[in-house]
Chains A and B, each alone.
Chain A
Amino acid sequence: MEEEKKNNDPISRKKFLRMCGTAVAGTALLGVSAVALKRLADKEADYFWQIDPKKCTFCGRCETDCVLPISAVKCVHALRVCGYCDLCGGYYRTNVKDLNTAAENMRCPTGAIKRSYVEDPYFEYTIEESICNGCGKCAKGCNSFGNGSLYLQVKQDLCTNCNECKISRVCPSGAIRRVPYAMAYMLKDD
Chain B
Amino acid sequence: MIIAQNRFPKPDFESGYEYPFFSYQIPNETAWVVFDLVMLVLLMSIVAWAVIKRRKRKPVFWVSIVSVAYFGFFRTGCVCSIGAIQNVALALVDSSYAMPLVVLLFFVLPVLFTLLFGRVFCAGVCPFGALQELVNIKSYRLPRSVTAVLEMLPWIYLILAILFAVTRSSFIICRFDPFIGIFRLGGDIGMITVGALLLIAAVFTGRPFCRFLCPYGALLSLFSRVSIRKIKITPTCINCDLCQRACPLDAIRPPYENKVKESRVQGVKRIIIYMVVLPLMALAGAFLLQQMSGSLSRVNKNVHLYDLVVKYEQNPQDVQPLEVEVFYAQGGTLEELTGRVEKIFAEFKTASAVAGALIGLVIGFTLIGLSLKRTRKTYEIDDAACVNCGRCFSYCPQNHIIS
Contact = CB atoms under 8 A, between A and B. Distances in A.
A25 B19 contact: no
Size class of the B contact interface (CB-based, 8 Å): 35 or more
B115 A172 contact: no
B99 interface: yes
A164 B26 contact: no
Interface in B275-313: 301
Interface stretch (B40-48, B180-188, B244-252, B348-356): B180-188
B2 A118 contact: no
A99 interface: no
A36 B92 CA distance: 6
A166 B180 CA distance: 14
Judged by DSSP, the binding face of B is: loop
Contacts of B19: 79-80
Contacts of B108: 29, 32-33, 36
Given A143-B4, A164-B171, A156 B226 contact: no
Contact of A147 (B5, B170, B327): B5
Contacts of A172: 322-323, 325-327
A185 B78 CA distance: 22
A69 B186 contact: yes
A175 to B, nearest CB: 9
Interface in B87-141: 87-88, 91-92, 95, 97-101, 104, 108, 111-112, 115
Contact of B26 (A54, A146, A181): A181
B174 interface: yes
Interface string B2-23: 1111111111011101011000
Interface in A52-91: 53-55, 57-59, 67-69, 76, 79-81, 83-85
Interface residues of A, number: 67
Contacts of B1: 57
A83 B171 contact: no
Contacts of A54: 4
A147 B326 contact: no
B223 interface: yes
A46 B98 contact: yes
A1 interface: no
5 smallest beta-carbon distances between A and B, as pairs: A148-B4, A83-B8, A21-B226, A164-B171, A45-B98
Interface of A: 18, 21-22, 24-26, 29, 32-33, 35-37, 39-40, 42-48, 53-55, 57-59, 67-69, 76, 79-81, 83-85, 118-119, 122, 124, 126, 140, 143-148, 151, 153, 155-157, 160-164, 166, 169, 172-173, 181, 184-185, 187
9 contacts: A40-B91, A40-B104, A44-B98, A45-B99, A57-B329, A146-B8, A147-B4, A153-B24, A163-B174
